[in-house]
């Protein structure tokens, strides 16, 4: 018996400071696939509006503008990402720090209420928020009835169902790309760090490598853990095993 032909719809939009690609696979090309893609992009836009420190109306920008002693009630995605960031800070002994060293102990989240304890603290979710946006886009696709697909946001990638996506890394020395493998289920994130550069989320100098890649169960984790590996140079950091992840330095 011949397998049912599969149709793939691929669409892309500039979001999150990069190009976000959504891919969906189904037996037929019908309108529902495009509606599902629209829902995925809408989810990314929603996360960006909540988390971007460059958007004055976002939860993070509003928090950064608060005086010491101020607080605000944040939206659900903001609360989820901040809770994950705090857990990763604790689990990494402070390596993963969304305050960028400004005052890591000067913010507190109680349910969805975010408190600012010092004028010095400034939050930046750039090292974890893009991964969460990919996860939310995947969730939107699945809620729309898509069984197989992927979302790729400039190196933060997650596939689900039967979809398999090629993993390619930039070749910084010779140009072009290097075939690294294939992703079937789960998430994969790659971050680029120049020699001697500092990771976005730690004051610890990054190792003199071009890329850090992490495979993890979801993209929020994969995105965040690339920063931990970049800061420590340790692909076998204890967090990898604890979070079901694997890391590479290139």
pLDDT in tens, 141-193: 999 999 999 999 998 999 999 999 988 777 666 667 777 889 999 999 998 76
Beta-carbon contacts of residue 124 (< 8 Å; ≥ 6 apart): 53, 60, 98, 99, 100, 200, 201
Nearest partner of 15 among 37, 48, 39, judged by Cα: 48
Contact 98, 201 (CB under 8 A): yes
Nearest partner of 201 among 102, 115, 134, judged by Cα: 102
pLDDT at 243 over 80: yes
Beta strands of 77-155 (E only): which ranges? 107-110, 113-116, 148-153
Nearest partner of 225 among 203, 195, 202, 247, judged by Cα: 247
Q: State the chain's mean pLDDT as an integer.
A: 89
- Going across the sheet that includes 107-110, the strands are 71-73, 113-116, 107-110
Nearest partner of 182 among 137, 209, 150, judged by Cα: 150
CA distance 9 to 22: 8
Q: Could you tell me where the DSSP H helices lie in 92-237?
A: 129-143, 219-232
Say whether pTM exceeds 0.85.
yes
CA dihedral 157, 203, 83, 248 (to 10 degrees): 30
pLDDT one-digit tens code per residue, 84-130: 999 999 999 999 999 999 999 999 999 999 999 999 999 999 999 99
Region 231-249: mean pLDDT is 94
pLDDT at 52 over 90: yes
Beta-carbon contacts of residue 189 (< 8 Å; ≥ 6 apart): 131, 155, 156, 157, 213, 214, 216, 219, 222, 223, 225, 226
Q: Count CB-CB contacts under 10 A for residue 122.
A: 20
205 CB-contact burial (10 Å; exposed 0-12 / middle 13-18 / buried 19+)? middle
Query: At CB < 8 A and 24+ separation, what contacts does 166-169 make?
Result: 169/211, 169/213, 169/250
CA distance 173 to 142: 39
pLDDT at 5 over 70: no
């Amino acid at each position: 018996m011949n397998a049912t032909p599969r149709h793939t719809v691929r669409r892309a939009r500039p979001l999150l400071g990069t190009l976000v690609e959504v891919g969906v696979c189904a037996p037929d090309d019908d309108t529902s696939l495009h509606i599902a893609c629209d829902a995925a992009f809408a989810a990314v836009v929603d996360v960006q509006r909540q988390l971007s420190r460059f958007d004055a109306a976002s939860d993070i920008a509003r928090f950064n503008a608060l005086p010491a002693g101020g607080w605000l009630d944040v939206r659900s995605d903001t609360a989820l990402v901040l809770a994950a960031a705090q857990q990763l800070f604790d689990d990494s002994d402070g390596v993963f720090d969304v305050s960028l060293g400004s005052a890591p102990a000067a913010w507190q989240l109680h349910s969805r209420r975010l408190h600012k304890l010092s004028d010095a603290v400034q939050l930046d979710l750039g090292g974890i928020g893009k991964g969460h946006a990919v996860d939310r886009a995947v969730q939107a696709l699945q809620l729309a009835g898509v069984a197989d697909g992927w979302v790729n946001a400039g190196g933060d990638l997650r596939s689900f169902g039967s979809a398999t996506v090629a993993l390619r890394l930039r070749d910084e020395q010779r140009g072009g790309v290097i075939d690294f493998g294939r992703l079937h289920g789960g998430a994969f994130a790659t971050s680029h760090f120049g020699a001697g550069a500092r990771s976005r989320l730690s004051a610890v100098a990054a190792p003199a490598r071009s890329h850090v890649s992490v495979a993890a169960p979801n993209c929020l984790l994969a995105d965040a853990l690339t920063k931990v590996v970049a800061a420590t140079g340790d692909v076998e950091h204890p967090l990898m095993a604890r979070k079901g992840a694997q890391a590479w330095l290139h």
